[in-house]
């Protein structure tokens, strides 16, 4: 009847603490070390509150801040003792910190610079194949996916032709022979019964559908406004007032829409919209009463 007290610990359920539970039933922790992308996975097994076995996979990316390949003497210097004010340095001293922000080498931006063109040219092929998510068609030179009409670099070379790009032959024929077959050609706006309202001429600035945007941030440029207002409708022109001396925005700009309704919706939606840390003010360019 001797009780062998030296028996190797057979876990007795009465002696187990609350927390220990039945850890021995769990598979051991696995660490899949950093692969070539620096991804490290740690797989742990735990019991959750209901007593179910739970597998926890933690995926982290191990990033090397800088590759330091030091020469022999540099390595020696690495082991030098601290001197001067650094002697009493505690680990918690925040003298050296890695920036919380990612800082980029910002390329100089300006609409129509080479940098933007290159980016767009690279994207245009992709966009075309996408089937026209952003299908930029320039009406002046007919180039697709390169630039908008208002930014056409060949503005003066190609005469404004109010025809579809797909049918150049047919339209040229009809325009080139005005008096030949039909007698005098009367444009639609001058025909009898035509409504001579303030119709938007495609070439002129659409003052009627012009929206003024104020409280822009310093870095805002034309492409930003264009991107912001495009969802509301076709935009013919964007302009951001710039300070010549500093090259920054003066805080306001104008956006011209093709349709008045689009402009109205843009005003409704974007007035008070937070953009680049500032609250935008969006209103009609000249006070209009509806």
Partner 1 sequence: MRPILMKGHERPLTFLKYNRDGDLLFSCAKDHTPTVWFADNGERLGTYRGHNGAVWTCDVSRDSMRLLTGSADQTVKLWNVQTGTQLYTFTFGSPARSVEFAIGDELAVITTDPFMELTSAIHVKRIAKDPTEQIEESMLVIKGPQGRINRAVWGPLNRTIISAGEDAVIRIWDSETGKLLRESDKESGHKKTITSLTKSADGSHFLTGSLDKSAKLWDTRTLTLIKTYGTERPVNAVAMSPLLDHVVLGGGQDASAVTTTDHRAGKFEAKFYDKILQEEIGGVKGHFGPINALAFNPDGKSFSSGGEDGYVRLHHFDPDYFNIKI
Q: Which positions touch partner 1 (CB under 8 A)?
A: 65-66, 68, 70-71, 73-74, 77-78, 80, 82-87, 89, 94-99, 101-108, 114, 218, 245-247, 277-278
* CB nearer partner 1, residue 97 or residue 192: 97
Nearest partner of 231 among 255, 204, 206, 266, judged by Cα: 266
Least separation, in Å, of the C-beta of 124 and partner 1?
Answer: 19
Nearer to partner 1, 68 or 180 (CB): 68
Nearer to partner 1, 19 or 102 (CB): 102
Candidates 197, 195, 222, 224; CA nearest to 208 is 197
The answer to whether 218 and 284 have CB atoms below 8 angstroms apart is: no
Secondary structure class of 42 (helix, strand, coil): strand
d(CA 237, CA 149): 9
DSSP helix/strand/coil, 172: helix
Nearer to partner 1, 98 or 184 (CB): 98
Please give the structure tokens belonging to residue 123: 């994207």
Rounded to a whole number of angstroms, the minimum distance from the CB of residue 86 to partner 1 is 5
What's the closest the beta carbon of residue 37 comes to partner 1, in angstroms?
14
Rounded-to-integer distance, Cα 289 and Cα 273, Å:
23
Chain mean position to CA 78: 42
Q: Rounded to the nearest whole angstrom, what is the least distance from the CB of residue 85 to partner 1 in the complex?
A: 4
Nearest CA among 216, 217, 235 for reference residue 226:
235
Q: Which is nearer to partner 1, 74 or 177 (CB)?
A: 74
Least distance to partner 1 from the beta carbon of 80, Å? 5
Q: Which is nearer to partner 1, 12 or 88 (CB)?
A: 88
Distance in Å from the first CA to the final CA of the chain: 105
Q: How does DSSP classify residue 134?
A: T
- Residue 33 CA to chain centroid, in angstroms? 33
204/245 with CB nearer partner 1: 245
């Amino acid at each position: 009847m001797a009780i062998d007290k030296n028996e190797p610990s057979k876990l007795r359920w009465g002696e187990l603490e609350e927390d220990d539970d039945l850890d021995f039933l769990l598979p051991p922790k696995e660490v899949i070390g950093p692969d070539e992308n620096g991804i490290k996975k740690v797989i742990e097994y735990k019991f959750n509150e209901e007593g179910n076995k739970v597998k926890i996979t933690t995926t982290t990316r191990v990033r090397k801040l800088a590759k330091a390949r030091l020469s022999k003497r540099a390595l020696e210097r690495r082991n030098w003792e601290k001197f001067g004010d650094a002697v009493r340095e505690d680990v918690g001293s925040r003298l050296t910190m890695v920036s919380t922000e990612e800082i980029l080498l910002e390329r100089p931006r300006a609409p129509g610079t080479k940098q933007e063109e290159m980016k767009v040219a690279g994207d245009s092929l992709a966009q075309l194949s996408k089937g026209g998510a952003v299908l930029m068609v320039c009406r002046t030179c007919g180039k697709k996916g390169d630039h908008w009409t208002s930014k056409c670099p060949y503005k003066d070379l190609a005469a404004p032709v109010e025809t579809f790009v797909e049918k150049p032959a047919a339209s040229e024929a009809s325009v080139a022979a005005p008096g030949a077959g039909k007698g005098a050609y009367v444009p639609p706006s001058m025909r009898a019964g035509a409504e001579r309202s303030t119709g938007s001429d495609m070439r002129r600035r659409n003052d009627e559908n012009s929206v003024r945007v104020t409280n822009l941030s310093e870095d805002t440029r034309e492409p930003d406004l264009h991107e912001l207002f495009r969802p509301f409708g076709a935009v013919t022109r964007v302009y951001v007032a710039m300070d010549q001396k500093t090259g920054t925005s003066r805080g306001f700009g104008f956006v011209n829409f093709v349709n008045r309704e689009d402009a109205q919706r843009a005003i409704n939606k974007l007035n008070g919209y937070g953009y680049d840390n500032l609250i935008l003010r969006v209103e009609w360019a000249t006070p209009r009463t509806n």
